[in-house]
A = this chain, B = another copy of it.
Amino acid sequence: MLTLADIRDADFRIKDYIIHTPLIPSSTLSNATGCQIYLKPETLQKGGSFKIRGAMNRIFLHLNKIPDTPVVAASAGNHAQGVAIAAHIAGVQAIIVMPDWASLSKQEATRGYGAEVCIFGQTIEESVSRALEISRDGGLFIHPFDDEEVMAGQGTLALELFSDLSDIDVIIVPVGGGGLISGIAVAAKTIRPSCRIIGVQSDQCPCAKAASLQGEPVCIKAQRTIADGIRVTKIGELTFPYIRDLVDEIVTVSDDEVALSMLWLLEHKKIVSEGAGAASVAAILFKKCFLPHNSRVVPIISGGNVDSHQLSRILRRGLAIQGRVLRISVIIDDLPGYLARLLSIIGDSGGNILHIHHNAPGDPDIPVHEVRVDIELETRGPDHISEIKRNVTSGGFMLL
């Protein structure tokens, strides 16, 4: 049975080795909700997520007993990096089993912390089996969530919260396997019983919600989601009782809501978050949970390890939403010099070309001797778009 005392012990054990991440007030979110919102960016934690907390606690607990045991874990994501850093700090060997689709950047990051990376399996389950096999030969297996020592470590995050801000009314926590929220719930409900704990899941994979409805952990069918860090098909056997007894509400958010929240964090708070990390902010931005007026609310931004391609997509989408990208098709005379004239007008208007495609003549839908040019360009916003279109039209060109 996990208690506040275990979490305090964990804190004592690990606090000198991890980062006490800050609480950052957000006036925009506060004004929008009538609450006092403080962000907890675990994106700034070592390894870019909260995962080091649990791994560090479990390693230190066993380091005293069997100092030379290597630690073993299976993960394609944050847990891999968390365990690798924790082992590095503790001075023990780490073997991380990763499925064969694990991104090279995650493999490199994990190796970068001194871990031995073993590529095995086409699914994470196959990687876990391999890790368990390895640990049977004398290794300390570190489960990503279903382990009380890991849960105790994750719970230290709540101790930091209450040491920075004593009267927190609501904590909003992304939920995958439930390790983070169960640790936080045990600490928070003991320190301040009135504090509400709200779990957030992707609506593509709501395993904790399903378990709450069924009264026990059940395996659900998961869809692909941008919040892949909390894509777990079955809530933990050990974490579930804490969620059932201590968590006040579990809400879900959509991929679109998560993507817009990632963009919001990027543009308004200069914080890079991964999908799972932004889920807590999505729950606030899209009003998924009741927040009492003037209450103090802390969304946990659990991690920031987003793939750069993903981040690039989020940004481009944001630019399109804000009218910062314009796509136009223009009909021009099929004669030398006309394209240059069109581009001069666009350039003089301050539009910056991203892509251009000059179609071949012969389209039956437009007059003969004319061709269509498709252009994608950067703009300063909707007013600038109007200005560019006006200038192109008054320059004698026809916009489609």
A318 CB contacts on chain B under 8 angstroms? 308
Does A8 have its Cβ within 8 Å of any Cβ on chain B? no
A266 CB contacts on chain B under 8 angstroms? 272, 311
Contact: A384 with B309, CB < 8 Å? no
- Name A23-68 residues within 8 Å CB distance of B: 24-25, 27, 41, 43-44, 46, 48
Does A206 have its Cβ within 8 Å of any Cβ on chain B? no
Contact: B315 with A308, CB < 8 Å? yes
Stretch of A132-140, A181-189, A219-227, A375-383 on the interface side: A375-383
- In the assembled complex, 9 residue pairs joining A and B whose CB atoms fall closer than 8 Å, in A order, are A22-B22, A22-B44, A24-B44, A104-B380, A104-B381, A270-B305, A308-B318, A308-B324, A312-B312
- Name A63-105 residues within 8 Å CB distance of B: 101, 103-105
A residues contacting the other copy or chain, number (CB 8 A): 45
Additional 4 contacts, C-beta under 8 A, given A44-B271, A270-B272, A270-B273: A44-B269, A272-B272, A308-B324, A315-B315
Contact: A311 with B322, CB < 8 Å? no
Q: Residue A309 contacts which of B46, B267, B319, B360 (CB distance < 8 angstroms)?
A: B319
Contact: B27 with A46, CB < 8 Å? yes
Nearest B-chain residue to A106, judged by Cβ:
B380
Whole-angstrom distance between the alpha carbons of A301 and B296 in the complex? 29
Cβ of A111 to closest chain B Cβ, rounded Å: 13
